[in-house]
């Protein structure tokens, strides 16, 4: 698998490895006190030394806040970008991005599998403002190329996708988007920058729900955008301030604290998920398993090329159909029944009735017999025992 994470040509501080950047980028000890952990600057405004005399460059916390800046610098470093921006949620980040990139009459190609809320944002919100969209299978660059129109401004992909763990070839799609005069947006929530760095593969913007692996402890809702394009970064920052859906200081601090352990958590998520996917693949009550680490997965080779590991998300279809899938969710105990993902604790859910209910009846509708697991970092034998019992 690739190791895109230490760039030998970068400036010395940028040449540091991912694990080091996660702990130190944007997080110098506090200049005033020496505090090793960046303080939570829970202040809406900043004293000015005379009108316009800003002490540290800060004036009002919607525009910028030192705790949020620390997180934003950290995110930019981890994704290998130049500008990171932190938002109140993943969807707030997506909304800011689409209103920065698109005006009425513009067109966007969206994936055939994606988080239901992302689909809802395009189908139920952006469309009302005159943004047009078509669905194309992100695993098929030719299909994405065929969906481009003269006014296509963005190709939007999730890889791995939610909930079917589809894999898009980021480098190939970057070429397709570039030829079509569009920008490639990659939602990197499922992989995290530890496993995959879309900007290095040619993407223009990375989207995150930091609620998930970045926060990592199911205690914060947040979102982020990262780009290597400074002028796009400026436009995004303008819209972030003008629209106002920023991450607050405490939420920024929680995400930063989570990110410090991202690498070690992801290693365990990957190892546990691989064991569980293997068990499910051999289980008589499981009809199909979706995990990019399995050789049977159609995107396995692309995933191996562009990811450091295959992640902690596993979906599977239950042989007995929808009611049997719901029953598995209900019987699980250690896997907590709940939406969201990416925390240290394992979660189980029924996408058709829960996270993806908003895609019902659309091209993004998910199978009724599908169960999605967010495999946590508990002892894998306990997780295997719980699932085996839940499958009955």
Choice from 138, 209, 240, 315 touching ligand PLP (CB under 6 A): 209
With respect to ligand PLP, which residue has the nearer C-beta, 58 or 213? 213
Contact between 271 and 380 under an 8 Å Cβ cutoff? The reply is: yes
What is the DSSP secondary structure assignment for residue 226, as one 8-state letter? E
Structure tokens at 350: 């029924």
What is the DSSP secondary structure assignment for residue 116, as one 8-state letter? H
- Residues 6 or more apart from 208 whose CB is under 8 A from it? 75, 90, 93, 187, 188, 189, 214, 223, 224, 225, 226
Residue from 58, 95, 106, 115 carrying the catalytic annotation: 115
Q: Minimum distance between the CB of residue 211 and ligand PLP, rounded to whole angstroms? A: 4
Asked if residue 188 binds ligand PLP (CB under 6 A), the reply is no
Q: Minimum distance between the CB of residue 223 and ligand PLP, rounded to whole angstroms? A: 5
60 noted as active-site residue? no
Choice from 90, 198, 215, 248 touching ligand PLP (CB under 6 A): 90
Choice from 112, 117, 175, 368 touching ligand PLP (CB under 6 A): 117
In 3D, which of 144, 208, 387, 156 has the Cα closest to residue 289?
387
Residue from 68, 120, 212, 308 carrying the catalytic annotation: 212
Contact between 109 and 155 under an 8 Å Cβ cutoff? The reply is: yes
Residues 128-187 that bind ligand PLP (CB under 6 A): 158, 162, 187
Angle at Cα 44 formed by Cα 38 and Cα 50, nearest 5°?
Answer: 100
Q: Minimum distance between the CB of residue 180 and ligand PLP, rounded to whole angstroms? A: 23
Choice from 108, 144, 221, 391 touching ligand PLP (CB under 6 A): 221
178 noted as active-site residue? no
62 noted as active-site residue? yes
Residue from 62, 149, 260, 285 carrying the catalytic annotation: 62
- Residues touching ligand PLP: how many (CB under 6 A)? 15
**Coil, strand, or helix at residue 331?**
helix
187 noted as active-site residue? yes
Angle at Cα 191 formed by Cα 213 and Cα 110, nearest 5°?
Answer: 110
Asked if residue 223 binds ligand PLP (CB under 6 A), the reply is yes
Please name the residue ranges forming H helices in the chain. 18-24, 66-78, 90-101, 116-120, 141-147, 170-179, 192-195, 230-243, 249-259, 262-281, 300-306, 322-331, 380-391
Q: Minimum distance between the CB of residue 189 and ligand PLP, rounded to whole angstroms? A: 4
- DSSP string covering 352-373, please? TTTTTGGGTTSTTPPPTTEEEE
Asked if residue 204 binds ligand PLP (CB under 6 A), the reply is no
For 271, other C-beta atoms within 10 Å of its C-beta total 15
With respect to ligand PLP, which residue has the nearer C-beta, 204 or 251? 251
Which position's Cβ is nearest ligand PLP? 90
Q: Among all residues, which ones are annotated catalytic?
A: 62, 115, 187, 212
The binding site for ligand PLP (CB under 6 A) comprises 89-91, 115, 117-118, 158, 162, 187, 189-190, 209, 211, 221, 223
């Amino acid at each position: 698998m690739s190791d895109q994470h230490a760039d030998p040509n970068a400036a010395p501080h940028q040449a540091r490895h991912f694990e080091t950047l996660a702990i130190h980028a944007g997080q110098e000890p506090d200049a005033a006190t020496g505090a090793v952990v960046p303080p939570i600057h829970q202040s809406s405004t900043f004293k000015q030394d005379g009108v316009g005399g800003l002490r540290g460059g800060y004036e009002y916390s919607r525009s910028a806040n030192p705790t949020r800046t620390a997180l934003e610098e950290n995110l930019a470093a981890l994704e290998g970008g130049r500008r990171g921006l932190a938002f109140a949620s993943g969807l707030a980040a997506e909304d800011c991005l689409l209103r920065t990139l698109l005006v009425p009459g513009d067109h966007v190609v969206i994936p055939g599998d994606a988080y239901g809320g992302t689909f809802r944002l395009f189908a139920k919100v952006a469309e009302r403002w005159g943004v047009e969209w078509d669905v194309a299978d992100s695993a098929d660059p030719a299909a994405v190329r065929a969906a481009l129109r003269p006014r296509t401004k963005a190709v939007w992909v999730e890889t791995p996708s939610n909930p079917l763990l589809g894999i898009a070839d980021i480098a190939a799609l970057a070429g397709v988007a570039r030829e079509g005069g569009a920008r490639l947006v990659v939602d990197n929530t499922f992989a995290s920058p530890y496993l995959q760095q879309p900007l290095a593969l040619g993407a223009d913007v990375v989207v995150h729900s930091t609620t998930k692996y970045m926060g990592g402890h199911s205690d914060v809702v947040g979102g982020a955008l990262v780009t290597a394009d400074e002028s796009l970064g400026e436009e995004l920052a303008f819209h972030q301030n003008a629209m106002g859906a920023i991450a607050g200081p405490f939420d920024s601090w929680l995400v930063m604290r989570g990110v410090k352990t991202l690498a070690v958590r992801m290693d365990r998520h990957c190892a546990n998920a691989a064991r569980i996917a293997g068990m499910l693949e051999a289980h008589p009550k499981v009809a199909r398993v979706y995990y990019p680490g399995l050789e049977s997965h159609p995107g396995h080779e692309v995933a191996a090329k562009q990811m450091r590991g295959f992640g902690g998300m596993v979906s599977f279809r239950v042989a007995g159909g929808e009611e049997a899938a719901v029953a598995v969710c209900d019987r699980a105990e250690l896997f907590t029944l709940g939406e969201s993902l990416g925390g240290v604790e394992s979660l189980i859910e029924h996408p058709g009735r829960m996270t993806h209910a908003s895609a019902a009846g659309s091209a993004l509708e998910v199978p009724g017999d599908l169960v999605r697991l967010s495999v946590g970092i508990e002892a894998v034998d306990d997780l295997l025992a719980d699932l085996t019992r839940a499958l009955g």
